[in-house]
Copies of this chain bind each other. A is one copy, B any other.
Amino acid sequence: MKKYRVLIDAIDEKGLVYKISKLFFEYDLNVISNSEYVDNENNKFFMRSVVEGGIDKKKLYDDLIEIMPLKATVKIVDTCKKNIVILATKESHCLGDILIRYEAGELDANILCVIANYDILEPLISKFGIPFHLVSHEGLNRSQHSGLILEKLKEYDHLDYIVLAKYMRILPAEFVETYPNQIINIHHSFLPAFIGANPYKQAYERGVKIIGATAHFVSNNLDEGPIIEQQIKNVNHAHGWTDMRDAGRDVEKVVFSNAIKLALEDKIFIYGNKTIIF
């Protein structure tokens, strides 16, 4: 029997769980796990169920939509591998962490290709038999450069997520809007502190005692998209900014890989500028 993830968000009203669980019961589904959250402030209902059974997806979808309030979102997702593309620049720690997981079969994804604006990482990527595309930004403005990347991405159908493994360039609005809520970035600070360039230098100048990393969806406001995961590490006066950068890499790669894992498992709901994570 197949497993499906049923993802629902809707305006909250009395009896939603009853109506949904009734339908699951009538479909004779085995409910393997079930998570709900009601945002009382905004009167919103979120639900993620993993169900098992022989179903007609289209029919279940229609039946769910019928019992839900207006404007509800319902998704019934197969538990198969998703397709991702990695964007990178020069640093290998986040990319490498993904590659090692990929090689070990721990990543529930197909890596379609890696695109980078330098060729530094090509030797590493080619070891893993993953297509590498160099799209240099030399002599191009931001829009021209991202346009070339967009063109390259169009060669790949069924792209689920673009993950920015320390891709050090800002993506323009036309890029972000082409992949709404599909682009995951790792920023090397505990946002909203130290937005923008050189957060470790900023952290060093400020004399902080912790450094951190934040995985978030990319929106049109730099480093202000919905946050998925954040972690920190203690530092002290003896850490120069390069020590902070080196120490921070361990936090970055773990936060980044965890965020990707959550996305691949359909565990993230986005509402407004926030995430609900089951």
Contacts and interface: CB of A to CB of B under 8 A. Distances in A.
A275 B237 contact: yes
A238 B33 CA distance: 10
A15 B275 CA distance: 29
Contacts of A22: 18, 22
Interface string A120-137: 000110011000000000
B254 A232 contact: no
B275 A207 contact: yes
A208 interface: yes
Nearest to A40: B32
Contacts of A206: 191-192, 227, 273
Given A193-B193, A227-B208, A276-B237, A100 B96 contact: yes
A15 B25 CA distance: 6
B37 A238 contact: yes
Interface in A232-248: 232, 234, 236-238, 240, 246
Interface residues of A, number: 69
A206 B225 CA distance: 9
Interface in A13-59: 14-15, 17-18, 21-22, 24-25, 28, 30-34, 36-41
A209 B192 contact: no
A28 B190 CA distance: 44
Contact of A127 (B106, B127, B234, B236): B127
A176 interface: no
Among A28, A123, A193, the one with the most B-chain Cβ atoms within 10 Å of its Cβ is: A193
A206 B214 CA distance: 13
A74 B187 CA distance: 42
A14 B18 contact: no
Contacts of A21: 15, 17-18, 21
26 contacts: A18-B21, A18-B24, A21-B21, A34-B38, A91-B104, A92-B100, A93-B101, A93-B104, A96-B99, A96-B103, A99-B100, A100-B124, A103-B123, A127-B127, A190-B193, A190-B208, A190-B232, A206-B273, A208-B227, A209-B228, A209-B230, A210-B230, A210-B231, A237-B275, A237-B276, A250-B254
Interface of A: 14-15, 17-18, 21-22, 24-25, 28, 30-34, 36-41, 91-93, 96-97, 99-101, 103-104, 106, 123-124, 127-128, 190-194, 206-210, 212, 226-232, 234, 236-238, 240, 246, 250, 254, 257-258, 272-277
Given A18-B25, A209-B228, A237-B274, 19 more contacts: A14-B28, A15-B25, A17-B34, A31-B38, A32-B40, A34-B36, A39-B237, A93-B101, A99-B100, A100-B100, A192-B208, A206-B227, A207-B226, A207-B275, A209-B227, A209-B229, A210-B232, A250-B258, A254-B254
